[in-house]
Structure 1
């Protein structure tokens, strides 16, 4: 409820700012007044009704959208809408079907070039070979779970890179694996090493306590517009 109140308060303040910009901008004010005049004539003048209403509507839209405040209003509304839709407890969430990525080890094979196609619109299961294929994912929106619990990582450094628009990302890492996290987001939370950090147009780099001494290390790099990142030991 507080988030709704905050959102409505911000939008109301931005609407007042939009009104101030329109009044103090002669071009915007004149365009809107002329557009309103054509709309008024179109509703009372039957001969050129279609032209007058269309032309008047276009002028009013132009008069409003030449002000920076309207773009900020739409941006805030879009960010808030995505925050609501990506909350797990939202009953109308569009992200109920989570993307689950579970790498599975296989017997060693010959290294050779290969082409891998990964869908953006459905669940995926990535099965790399024993010597591991670094994960590089691009996800427009939705929740993603990357489970490394049954994966035997090779010695040295491995990489998981996730670029996402909106949604939560959870990475399950086996105990004993050193973890380095680089998380950048416009708005979101980072849960790592039993601590939470809220980020607002920020990026953060963090390391697990055993990172320097661990024989196997995973480097998690995420770039998210709006969404949380959780890194859990299993």
Structure 2
């Protein structure tokens, strides 16, 4: 049944698949479609997740380095919706594999003058050779890990200073016995095309556990997203 419904969905989205096989879809999606969808969905998701982010980032100042400043690297910054939750004086380095968010990012930078912005790097989360090893106190990922391969382990080993922290808020696979998981399996191939490689069925808490942080706090939460298969989330942080 899953395969049958996948085929039906693929037929409905056949123009997208055709453009993909012609090599046209991916650059068009990253430049136009994905930023547009993320902007529209992001506004709704930000409202729903605000209370969780406020609680999540409450203890960020505890990870300030010896200099007294908090050096923060955000992977997959997008439009910068997390800036409002960072403490005053925080030194922020922004990275994103997609350079087409910079207009909205600039707007959010102007709104959040309490931060110090270091630089913007166009790079994938698993390819941050431009960031020196152990050079940041905190790494932040929100709605990013579903498209990466091994961000938690990479960030723990190479980016965070000793005693630094890796913060996350991510959508994850639903309970396997649920209808939502069934629809995640149905939608996954087409969803991945439309949302720039996003995987609906990743059990990301397992990746975090495998990274072997000295301390790991994970909370499973529900963020209702009507008509979307991404209700289940995890939120928390790990300490190197």
TM-score by shorter chain over 0.5: no
Could you say which structure has the higher strand fraction? 1
Q: Whose helix proportion is higher, 1 or 2?
A: 2
Query: Which structure would you say has the larger RCO, counting Cα contacts within 8 Å and 6 or more residues apart?
Result: 2
The structure with the largest alpha-carbon Rg is: 1
